[in-house]
Amino acid sequence: MLIAISLLAFVININAPGDPVEKLSNSADKEGAANEQSNATKKVKQELRKKLGLDLPVFYFSFGSKSDCDTLYRVEDKAHAATLSELSHQYGNWDNVSNYFHQLAEVQLAHSSLNMDEIHINLKDENGKPLYSKNEINDVITQSSFDISAMMETASPAVLNAKWESLNKLYTTYPFFGEIKPVFTNAKEKYQFMLENEERWKTYIPTIIWYGLGNQYHFWLFGNGKDRHGVIRGDFGFSYIDSQPISEKIWSRVWISFTFTIISVLLAYLISIPLGIYSAYRKDSTFDRISSIIVFILYSMPSFFIGVLLLYTFANPDMLRWFPVSGIQDATLFDPEWSNWDKLKHRAPFFILPLVTYVYSSFAFLSRIMRVGVIDVFGQDYIRTARAKGLGEGTVVMKHALRNSLLPIITVFANIFPLAVGGSIIIETIFTIPGLGFEIYNSILNSDYPMIIAVFTIIGFLTMIGYLISDILYAVVDPRISYK
Amino acid sequence: MEQNNFSFKKYAWNQFKKNKPALYSLYILITLILIAVFAPFIANDQPLYAKYKGESVYPAFATLTDPTVRKSFTDLETGKTEELQYDITDWRQLDLESVVWAPIPYSPDKGDRYNREYVSPFGEQRIKNFNNEIVEAPRRLRHFMGTDNIGRDLASGLIHGTRISLLVGVIAMGIASIIGVFLGAIAGFFGDRNLRMPRIKYYLTILGVFLGLFYGFGVRKYTISNAFENGSSGSWELLLSLLLITVIIVGLRFISRFLMIGKLKDEISVPIDTFVSRGIELLNSIPRLILIITISAIFTRSIWLIMTIIGLTSWTGIARFTRAEFLRLRELEFVQAAKSLGYSNFRAIVKHALPNALAPVFVSIAFGIASAILIESSLSFLGIGVPDDMVTWGSLLNLGRQEFEAWWLVMFPGFAIFITITIYNLIGEGLRDALDPRLKS
């Protein structure tokens, strides 16, 4: 199960839009403009890639065709990698594709050797006037460089052909491209060679490539043994927003959500078990009817509606101002030096409305199940036997009926738990409680994908704990079940 | 010969009718469906019928097929021609000779600029009259459920939101029940031991799935994605790929007939029940709301995506019930008889077992629709799933959360969601009691 959750989280992680390196380096220094990638920023990016483990293959193995390149993951730019993959898919021969692409990259590189001022001064017509204005030179060079970049990001033959044509024209018109032109012609030859020697049949042959342990998933899960520890040791990478390690941001929030969930589930059980027993015991009485109707209505009431209604009624200056609107503490009053009791006293009013909403969402479901369960047990022979023996009603209910009717309600513990955790997103958002649910909501608004994945994984893990607890409770309540 | 005229359908319907809450819920549901179907005629800022400059037009109907429909009107006296694009025309400002408005003369997505900033249903509402004066709105043109911050009519939003809510329920559960019934049926019918096939056929089928995926999606991935980018033929290419996959699998299974030699011929059983049961457990152990939120955060927002994800993650309940029914049914005489008569497994499943297994499926579909609607409205309440400009019940309620004064933005959508979920739950209970007396509590 854990493997499946981690795999799922990882797959979502890989498919998240945008390039993590770009996002992280952008958040690190906002001034780095897209067109001016100096060597320094490039180096920073390379280090980031290494830190994030993006220079590794994705998984232990890959399933592809013979035309695919097995070292494509080493290409730094996501867009370039996509182009390469599509090109190799179109023409089948990886070597040719790679040659062509390298040559294209060299054309791009050659642009940096062009010096605008030199061209401006050196190229003169017969009257000694500069042939081209600085602006014109600049425009032309930018145009050419831009076109080459565009070519490196497309595999469409129509677009590529148009670019070949226009660039060729450009280079013939402006003589100062002299140094670039041979490189460019070379690239074009390589392109023609790739077209002529296409081996499409290779794309139809499936292959499996084995990468071993040095892959992104392994890295993500177990870390590299040095600075990164992997998800399994609580290292979830870095937030896109402030580049801080996610685990530090999260751990302080886990306990809030976890406390709320645990307290509310316990409270829900504490209320629904007596209620279920009583209404089942007095089946078809007025109490039973009324409580059943109320429970049914509550059952169909969305928790966000309840939450907003509670806020409207009890935290509204126009109605009743009993409780604060949001948060878990008042920042102006709260003092971290307080004793635990003072802290609790201060926080209690903040806790009440969210707790009511939390409890209600599992309570309605539970008491319905409890009532049905107890009614079922009351029909059993051993209850009749107990009564026939002359046992008091109290003993019959508490000793004979209760324990047996607990089984179904424990079964649903495993279901209640994810329900409560999932519901926490809505409730925490309504009441602005800084727990996991509110965190995932915020990170979705800010497209902070590593954070989303981290919260998803942790909640999945908490759900697992819920299953474990319900399994243990099973054995406690029903001696017939044992896990030996 | 006198036939016994007992029909299970009739019996179930009679039982269902006895359950008054469920029956009334069904009536309310039918009303909701009618509202959803006829929403553009119930709430629309364009008249159903209008006579302008001597010409009769039906704008509300015309914009249904083409939202940007245009029409020229010639003034008979002055001879001037005026071209109107229906959807951006303010019909209220035109000098119409006669007009029939929709019962709620506002569209859900267009703000009324004279009633911005949360106008209460009982408060003062304004309108511009023909003399360009802002006056108190007549009763006919009031927003009887109030407006939101940019003056959108709440009643109209609720009526159009009905479409989305019901559609989410139907489509999500449609997907879920196809997957759930299929997997539950084969898991329950065959169990771990009864799906037997020659070893070679088994291996070649697995190979076929891999090769099918490879040739269908691996090789054609750029063809498909390019086709989607260029617009028209994307779905067609996708269909072609699916066809290719089917052909490859069927083809390999056919080839396996000629390879029945020696050990390859031995029959082995496919543990299909284990696969399905583990799959159900796996999906159940992942918090569904979180999964849906995570996935919808990563893809572009669209209501169709939400429906699909809800459908793909909520088939487990249906599969469990179907599986349990099939486990019971496969031992019964009539299924055994069908088998012993030499009918194919397919026929035994579809014609003999399935009709008898549908009762619990219907029940869990009804409950499933309720929870699908709940999930969708939670998502739009959080503002995560659906696009920002789409008006749904949940997004309306979210607007109310931000503005404490606007109680109408909380109460009306909240109750709409509540009532819809309640009636589905009641119908579910009614169905359970009517279709399966054993489950009656």
- Interface check for B404 against chain A (CB to CB < 8 A): the answer is yes
pTM, whole model, 2 decimals?
0.77
Strand-strand pairing, A206-210 and A61-65: antiparallel
Say what the pLDDT of residue A418 is. 65
- The verdict on a CB contact (< 8 Å) between A305 and B382 is no
The answer to whether the CB atoms of B441 and A372 lie below 8 A apart is yes
Residues 6+ apart with CB under 8 A from B101: B47, B48, B140
Question: Chain B partners of A92 at a C-beta cutoff of 8 Å?
Answer: none
Residue B319, classed as helix, strand or coil, is: helix
Of B284, B290, B377, the CB nearest to A456: B290
Q: Which band of pLDDT confidence, cut at 50, 70 and 90, is reported for residue B441?
A: very low
The whole-number pLDDT of residue A31 equals 43
Report the range of poorest mean pLDDT among A41-45, A276-280, A450-454, B215-219. A41-45
Cα-Cα-Cα-Cα torsion A93, B249, B311, B36, nearest 10 degrees, comes to 100
Q: Which of B78-82, B212-216, B220-224 has the highest mean pLDDT?
A: B212-216
Asked if B158 has any chain A CB less than 8 Å from its own CB, the reply is no
A to B CB pairs, distance under 8 Å: 132
pLDDT digits (tens, 9 = 90+) for A79-107: 777 777 777 777 777 777 777 777 777 77
Nearest to B294 among A301, A421, A456 (CB): A456
Mutate: best of A453, A456, A464, A467, partner B, most B CBs <10 A: A456
Mean of the per-residue pLDDT values of chain A = 74
Residue B264 has pLDDT above 50, yes or no: yes
**Alpha carbon of A469 to those of A219, A366, A473, A478: distances in Å?**
31, 17, 6, 14
pLDDT for position A34 = 43
3-state secondary structure A426-446: HHHHHHCCCCHHHHHHHHHHC
- pLDDT, tens only, A36-54: 455 666 677 777 766 666 6
pLDDT in the model for residue A338: 66
Average pLDDT over residues A252-269: 80
Q: Dihedral of CA B386/B387/B390/B394: which sign?
A: positive
Chain A residues with beta carbon closer than 8 angstroms to that of B284:
415
Q: Are A342 and A350 in contact (CB under 8 A)?
A: no
One-character DSSP codes across A288-354: HHHHHHHHHHHHHS-HHHHHHHHHHHHB-TTS-B-S-SSSSS-TTT--TTS-HHHHHHHHHHHHHHH
With a CB-CB cutoff of 8 Å, which residues 181-220 of chain B face chain A? 210-211, 214-215, 218-219
Q: What is the pLDDT of residues A363-407, one digit of tens each?
A: 877 888 888 788 878 778 888 888 888 877 777 777 777 777 777
Please enumerate in sequence order all residues whose Cβ is within 8 A of that of B264, keeping only pairs 6 or more positions apart, or say none. B198, B199, B200
**Are the beta carbons of A463 and B370 separated by less than 8 Å?**
no
Centre a 10 Å sphere on the Cβ of residue A395 and count the other Cβ atoms it contains.
13
Shortest distance between the Cα of A464 and any Cα of chain B, in A, equals: 7
Digit-coded pLDDT (tens) for A129-141: 767 777 777 787 7
CB contact under 8 A, B218 and A65: yes
Per-residue model confidence (pLDDT) at position A331? 61
In the Cβ-directed half-sphere of A2, how many Cα atoms lie within 13 Å? 10
Q: What is the pLDDT of residue B1?
A: 43
Element (H, E) at B196: strand B196-198
Type of residue found at B258: F
User: Is the ipTM beyond the 0.90 threshold?
Assistant: no
User: Is the Cβ pair A300, B425 closer than 8 Å?
Assistant: yes
* Residue A455 with chain B: CB contacts under 8 Å: 290
Q: What is the mean pLDDT of residues B220-238?
A: 73
Of A37-41, B119-123, B289-293, the poorest mean pLDDT is in: A37-41
Q: Strand, helix or coil at A66? A: coil
Distance of alpha carbon B85 from the chain centroid: 32
CB B420 within 8 A of CB B373: yes
Contact B382 A429 (CB under 8 A): yes
B386 falls in which pLDDT band (50, 70, 90)? confident
Kindly report the nearest CA distance between residue A29 and chain B, in angstroms.
Answer: 25
**Chain B residues closer than 8 Å to A302 by CB:** 374, 377-378, 414, 417-418, 421
Contact A65 B219 (CB under 8 A): yes
How far apart are the CA of A336 and the nearest CA of chain B, in angstroms? 31
Amino acid, res. A417: F
Q: Which residue has the tokens 């269908």?
A: B216
Q: Is the pLDDT assigned to residue B100 strictly greater than 60? A: yes
Across the interface, which of B282, B293, B441 has its CB nearest the CB of A425? B293
Contact B355, B413 (CB under 8 A): no
Among A308, A372, A426, A463, pick the best mutation site for testing chain B contact (most B Cβ within 10 A).
A308
Q: Residue A182 contacts by C-beta under 8 Å, 6 or more apart in sequence?
A: none
* Among B281, B295, B418, beta carbon nearest to A300: B418
Q: How confident is the model at residue A336 (pLDDT cuts 50, 70, 90)?
A: low
Q: Which residues of B touch A308 (CB under 8 A)?
A: 397, 400-401, 410, 414
Chain A neighbors of B245, CB-CB under 8 A? none
Query: Which site among A369, A425, A457 would you substitute to test the B interface, given the most B Cβ atoms closer than 10 Å to its Cβ?
Result: A425
Host H or E run for residue B74: strand B70-74
B382 and A425 in contact by Cβ < 8 A?
yes
pLDDT higher than threshold 70 for residue A18: no
Query: What pLDDT shows up at residue B293?
Result: 79
Q: What is the per-residue burial (b if ≥16 Cβ within 10 Å, else e) of A340-352?
A: eeeeeebbeebbe
Query: Which tens digits make up the pLDDT trace of B124-141?
Result: 666 666 666 666 666 666
Contact B400 A308 (CB under 8 A): yes
- Rounded to an integer, what distance in angstroms lies between the CA atom of residue A176 and that of residue A182? 12
Measured between CA atoms, how close is B193 to chain A, in angstroms? 25
- Asked if the model's pLDDT at residue A197 lies above 60, the reply is yes
- H or E element that contains B136: strand B134-136
Which range has highest mean pLDDT (A8-12, A353-357, A411-415)?
A: A353-357
Q: Do B290 and A449 touch (CB under 8 A)?
A: no
- Report DSSP letters for B258-298, one per residue: GG--GGGGSEEE--HHHHHHHHHHHHHTS-HHHHHHHHHHH
H-helix or E-strand spanning residue A258: helix A246-281
**B222 contact residues in A (CB cutoff 8 A):** 86, 89-90, 155
- Nearest beta carbon to residue A308 from set B378, B410, B418: B410
pLDDT reading at B195 higher than 50? yes
Residue to substitute from B280, B283, B289, interface A, most A β-carbons within 10 A: B289
CB A50, CB A21: distance < 8 Å: no
Query: What residues of B are in contact with residue A463 (Cβ under 8 Å)?
Result: 285-287
Contact A5 B421 (CB under 8 A): no
Nearest chain A residue to B393 by CA: give it. A305
Residue A405 burial (C-beta neighbours within 10 Å; 0-12, 13-18, 19+): buried
Q: Please report the pLDDT score of residue A32 as a whole number.
A: 41
pLDDT digits (tens, 9 = 90+) for B158-186: 888 888 888 888 899 999 999 999 998 88
Residue pLDDT, tens place only, A429-438: 888 878 778 8
Share of chain B above pLDDT 70, in %: 85
A422·B290 Cβ contact <8 A: yes
Residue B381 has its nearest CB partner, among A304, A316, A422, at: A304
* Fold type of domain A246-477: MetI-like fold (1.10.3720)
How would you list the strands of the sheet with B55-57, edge to edge?
B55-57, B49-52, B98-100
In sequence order, which ranges of A199-245 are alpha helices (DSSP H)? 216-222
Residue B244 has pLDDT above 80, yes or no: yes
- Which residues in chain A have Cβ-Cβ distances shorter than 8 Å to B215? 204
Nearest CA in chain B to A455: B290
pLDDT in tens, B391-424: 888 888 887 777 767 777 778 888 888 888 888 8
Contact (CB, 8 A) for B51 and B99: yes
Stretch B293-312: mean pLDDT: 80
Give A312's contacts in chain B (Cβ within 8 Å): 404, 407, 410
**What are the φ/ψ torsions at residue B128 (nearest 5 degrees)?**
-95, 125
Distance CA A399, CA A385 (A): 13
Residues 252-311 of B with CB under 8 A from A: 281-282, 284-291, 293-295, 297-298
Q: Per-residue pLDDT for A221 more than 80? A: no
pLDDT value at residue A21 = 67
CATH 1.10.3720.10 positions along chain A are 246-477
Q: Can you give the three-state secondary structure of A124-163, one letter per residue?
A: ECCCCCECCCHHHHHHHHHHHHHHHHHHCCCCCHHHHHHH
Task: Give the residue, A47 or B352, on which the prediction is more confident.
Answer: B352
Q: Residues of A with CB below 8 A from B285's CB? A: 1, 5, 418, 460, 463-464, 467
- The answer to whether the CB atoms of B285 and A460 lie below 8 A apart is yes
Q: Look at residue B306 in the predicted model and tell me its pLDDT.
A: 84
Which residues in A442-479 are b (16+ Cβ under 10 Å) and which e? Answer: ebbeebbbbbbbbbbbbbbebbbebbebbeebbeebee
Percent of chain A as helix, strand, coil, to the nearest 5: 70, 5, 25
Judge whether B425 is closer than 8 Å to chain A, CB to CB.
yes
- CA-atom Rg of chain B in angstroms: 28
CB < 8 Å to B416, chain A? none
Give the whole-angstrom CA distance, residue B201 versus residue B187: 19
Q: How far apart are CA A58 and CA A73, in angstroms?
A: 8
Residues A26, A28, A32: CA angle, nearest 5 degrees: 50
